[in-house]
Structure 1
Amino acid sequence: MEPYPQPAPGRDDFAASRACLEQMVARLSDARMMSCTQHALEEYVTEAGRELQRQLMQDQLDARAGREPRLRQVAGADGVVRRRAEAGHRRLVATTVGPVEVNRIAYRAPGAPNLHPADAQLALPQRLYSFPLQREVVHEVGAGSLRAAREAIVRTTGQHLGTRQLMQIATDAAVDIRDFYQPATGLGHVPAGDGRDVLVLSLDATGVNMIPTDLREPSSPRPAGPQPPSAQLARRERTGRTRMAVVTAIYDATPAPRAAADILPIDATERAARQPGPRAARRRVDASLEHSVAPMVTALFDQAEARDRQHRRRWVVLVDGANHQLECITKEAERRGVHIDIVVDFIHVLEYLWKAAEDLHPTHPARAAFVQATARDLLEGHAPRVVADLNAHLRARAADHPAPGLQRAAAYLHAKQPYLNYHIALALGWPIATGVIEGCCRYLVKDRLDITGARWSLTGAEAVLLLRAVITNGDFDQYWQFHLDREYQRTHASRYQDQYAPAA
């Protein structure tokens, strides 16, 4: 077969772009533009410049199409050799500067799908939208509502995408995040800090409004009889529309020894002498609606072992006291043979003490004094005495004067007493509050998924959570290249017997 004609030497492949540029220059030089305001000038240059960029891209793609060599045959991964070549097959690509057409040769064989080696050379996306446009969409969808993302994309690129398309792009962009963080890839790895640093693990869960078909099924019926104390202070009326998102965090913290007076000073002298607490470093967060607490705890411990394979560091686990979380953490530590130190969040303990104070004292000053004194006792290691005092107050109450806050506080502190060794944690310089994981729950989940009126599908919510986590970890640039490589393998390399490398 005769080769396709090549463009004649000296032909200007960018004639259309030059004409567009000359038109812009002529417009900028006319009398009307010479007397316009600066903002009108900027708006024209932005809009016309976007069209110039689109034309430059189109001209370059057309020039490449004219120079595409005709291959003798193309063998697909299906084993079919395609010897028929047809030029002029076009496909549309939506880019950040507008739509362009890619003209390439199709290689055909009866009963087999066409192959386009030029698509592999260009590493074109499988869908309509270019990868730079997809990247813009990912950041906008991860940051705010779909409507706000749609308007932002129009402002920054001039492209109009529907909310359904935006959500689909974000969902597709998140498919490789779990694989990206697998130890086998060697990517997304956080180097271990100083060997003297404490390795802090923390997790929490928060509800997300879901569509009815994607609510989590109960794993087992509710057992009969009284339930053990949990970290939940009051049961809000459940609507049956939420699914729990599990959030985990791991970070290094240089020990900063402190005393009870540094946490709750009682006078000006103690306030002036307060010592700062440990600071989080090399933080890594994760979140999931699809996975429950147990697999997320397993993944959290995987990250911890990646930082401390020999188990030479102190592992401190900060929790809010939820029974199921404690059970999963304990089982995972036993399975791996690693010693962990569990500390219940001191802020949760304070909340229970305030509920007890409301039942014991009628005025706010008296309640504040009770919480101050009781919390200081807990920080100084007197948890058994505090529990005994609360039970004594409870027994002294008359039967016709119920004290639910006091009762829950006494039960909670009694159940969590093994994890209330704050005096040891402070002396060793460990953190005793779950501020990091609480902030992660608020930022990763609530700030995005708890938008008023939002109802989420499991697929969409999981994708947004994963994308927000990888952006928060500072790994998005590295992940995006990993995702592009994976997309190339799925879309192009897997379709050929011979490998086609993308253009440089």
Structure 2
Amino acid sequence: MDPADTFAASRTRMEEMLARLSDPLMMACTQEVLEDYVTVAGRELMRQIMQDQLDARATAEERRREVTGADGVMRTRAERGHVRLLATTVGRVEVSRIAYRSPASKVGNLHVADAELALPAQLYSRPLQRAVVHEAASGSLRQAAGAVQRATGQMIGTRQLMEICVRAAADINAFYVAPPDAAALRAAAGELLVLSCDATGVNMIPAGLREATRAAAEAQAQAGPQPPSAQLADRERGGRRRMATVTAVYDAAPVVRTAADILPRTAAERETRRREAPRARQREVHASLQLTTAEMIAAMFDQAERRDPEQRRRWIVLVDGNNHQLERIRDEAGRRGIHVDVVIDFVHVLEYLWKAAEDLHPTLPARQTHVADMARTILEGHASRVVADLNAHARARGLQEDSRSAQLPRLQRAIAYLKAKQPCLGYDLALALGWPIATGVIEGCCRYLIKDRLDVTGARWSLTGAEAVLLLRAMIDNGDFDAYWEYHGRLEYERQHTARYQQDFVVAA
């Protein structure tokens, strides 16, 4: 073919587009009509340009004498004109290439041009997959399908969208194994290394539940339907949720504070309070529905050790007080011989103090005063004094030790919580050393990663789909998408092309 004719179809389409723009109807149209036409026609023009370029490559493809696959079978026969479809961000195109075949039966064809162009194994091009991942990770699949169609003109079903996401998330865990560079390690020297974890539930289809949850749901179903309730929305979640564990590791410069900076009592303290707090830097968050809490906490410690391999920094663990998480954290730290300082989230302590005050005081002003006094006392390092005062309040009401739980349940829960967590309530020392005392970072991660996407009304997830979306959201939130997409592309090329040949091919620039 004459090189001058390579893009003849594209030039023809361009001339048709320009002629249409010049006709009287288009010259009199509104700007909205003009823009809509240019968008659609321009996309078709770009598709034609891509098709012409691919056709020119197919014509110029040189026949190889032989191609040997990874199976050791030599393909000596070559047939031109083998075509495959490729859905791109500008439309669907056909890629024609030489198929190398073997006389032996049951030996698959090889297409060297696919490797040279780094074509994906599936229908959808990598730029289109990238657009799908961003849309599906940020909104529902139906919304993602609509957004992709508006942006690219491509109609993709929700099942195909999820398949793209699952495949795109396949290498995320491996991507995060690499340690940070030396410059990042030096920049964080002297800062606190903060670890935090939390968990929240996701509505699943029955096949996605853990075995114990599924068995409980089946037993409940056999017991008969639930009675009518004004809180049906909460009741119907029983036996439908699987816990997702979220972890975060970040650096934070110490900021020395006092109890008066957190809860000032007087106008003078409010005037002079220090409002600055330790700020998270270089935050890295991970989440999983498939992995257990123990596995996620082990991965969190792995991540922290990559940041501080010689364990020269102060390790702070911030949690909300979940006993299972605390046990796994202490077990993991003991197994590795690492000293960690565990701090219970102060906001959770406040919640228990409010519950106790609701049992003790009938009016809101009295509760506010009591909670403020108790919270300030705990911040000053006297949690045992608050526990003693709460016990004294219970005794003053003439309640016996064994009956308090039934008559003042919230008070009893607060007392039990403070007693159990007292070793981790040393806020006076934490503030003096500049440590953070609240789990706002991990709470925000749970809300963004899970509540804003996986916990939308009416959603019920398969385990594979939910895990993929969760991994993608965490990776995007970490700001690692571009680096990961390049890494994932290299691994996909090795799996789909390099592994199929004994030869090495140069990827087209």
Instruction: After the TM superposition, list the runs of 4 or more consecutive aligned residues in structure 1 that deviate by more than 2 angstroms.
Output: 186-194, 394-401
Whether the 8 Å CA contact 2:247–2:285 is kept in 1: the answer is yes
Whether the 8 Å CA contact 1:197–1:252 is kept in 2: the answer is yes
Determine the C-alpha separation between the residues in 1 that align with 2:72 and 2:184. 43
| Bigger mean CA deviation after superposition, 329-338 or 392-401 | 392-401
Matched, 1:412 2:417: yes
Match of 1:89 among 68, 82, 87: 82
Distance 1:306 1:499, change over 3 A: same
Matched, 1:144 2:139: yes
Alignment of 1:145-164 (within 5 A): 145-164=140-159
Unaligned 5+ residue runs, structure 2? 217-233
CA apart distance, 1:17: 0.3
Aligned to 1:469: 474
Determine the C-alpha separation between the residues in 1 that align with 2:35 and 2:185. 46
The letter for the 2-side match of 1:258 is R
Alignment of 1:30-179 (within 5 A): 30-109=23-102, 110-111=104-105, 112-179=107-174
Unaligned 5+ residue runs, structure 1? 1-6, 223-235
Alignment of 1:381-396 (within 5 A): 381-396=381-396
Whether the 8 Å CA contact 1:216–1:243 is kept in 2: the answer is yes
Determine the C-alpha separation between the residues in 2 that align with 1:419 and 1:285. 23
Whether the 8 Å CA contact 1:333–1:339 is kept in 2: the answer is yes
Whether the 8 Å CA contact 2:342–2:424 is kept in 1: the answer is yes
**What is the percent sequence identity of the aligned residues?**
64
Whether the 8 Å CA contact 1:177–1:466 is kept in 2: the answer is yes
Give secondary structure in 1 for the equivalent of 2:18: helix
CA apart distance, 1:192: 5.4
Determine the C-alpha separation between the residues in 2 that align with 1:90 and 1:476. 32
Q: How many residues align?
A: 482
CA apart distance, 1:187: 8.8
CA apart distance, 1:394: 2.3
Give secondary structure in 1 for the equivalent of 2:145: helix
Distance 1:307 1:266, change over 3 A: same
Alignment of 1:179-328 (within 5 A): 179-183=174-178, 191=185, 193-218=187-212, 237=235, 239-275=238-274, 276-328=276-328
CA apart distance, 1:318: 0.2
Match of 1:428 among 422, 425, 433: 433
Whether the 8 Å CA contact 1:193–1:252 is kept in 2: the answer is no
1:182-235 deviation per Cα after TM superposition (whole angstroms, max 9, x unaligned): 137x7999645332211110000000000011101239x99xxxxxxxxxxxxx
| Bigger mean CA deviation after superposition, 12-21 or 187-196 | 187-196
Whether the 8 Å CA contact 2:185–2:308 is kept in 1: the answer is no
The letter for the 1-side match of 2:471 is L
Give secondary structure in 1 for the equivalent of 2:452: helix
Which has more helix, going by share of residues?
Answer: 2
Give secondary structure in 2 for the equivalent of 1:466: helix
Q: TM-score, normalised by structure 1?
A: 0.93
Determine the C-alpha separation between the residues in 2 that align with 1:501 and 1:182. 28
Give secondary structure in 2 for the equivalent of 1:62: helix
Matched, 1:440 2:442: no
CA apart distance, 1:295: 0.6
Determine the C-alpha separation between the residues in 1 that align with 2:183 and 2:391. 49
Aligned to 1:228: none
Matched, 1:456 2:455: no
Whether the 8 Å CA contact 1:180–1:188 is kept in 2: the answer is no
1:435-494 deviation per Cα after TM superposition (whole angstroms, max 9, x unaligned): 000000000011000010000000000000000011000000000001110110111110
Q: TM-score, normalised by structure 2?
A: 0.92
Determine the C-alpha separation between the residues in 2 that align with 1:431 and 1:455. 36
The letter for the 2-side match of 1:97 is V
The letter for the 2-side match of 1:215 is L
Give secondary structure in 2 for the equivalent of 1:483: helix
The letter for the 2-side match of 1:127 is Q
Matched, 1:12 2:5: yes
Distance 1:438 1:192, change over 3 A: farther
Give secondary structure in 2 for the equivalent of 1:93: strand
